[in-house]
Amino acid sequence: MTARRKLESGVFVFAMFGALLILPPLVYIFNHPILFFGIPQIVVYLFGVWALMVIGAGVLTHYLPHASDEDGHEGDE
């Protein structure tokens, strides 16, 4: 398996893990009347997960190599 395929698989797993973190059963765990600097715990959790997903996607796409012309992704030719 090439390094590009491994990284693409990692991106897929990362996306699925992020999607699982925002499903209601997990989100409801953080639905308590606890405040962090006046912000409810559930809001801090959701924005924290969102921020980690944005940062993680940026890092993973930075290390993902560009598709080469040998992959068969050429234009109309």
Q: Which residue matches tokens 């109309």?
A: 76
76, 14 in Cβ contact below 8 A?
no
Residue 56 domain flag: yes
Residue 74 domain flag: no
The segments of the chain whose pLDDT lies below 70 read 1, 67-77
Instruction: Please count the structural domains in the chain.
Output: 1
Tens of pLDDT, residue by residue over 22-37, are 999 888 888 888 999 9
What's the domain range around 38?
Answer: 34-62
Whether the pTM exceeds 0.95: the reply is no
Please provide the DSSP assignment of 26-38 as one string. HHGGG-SS-EETT
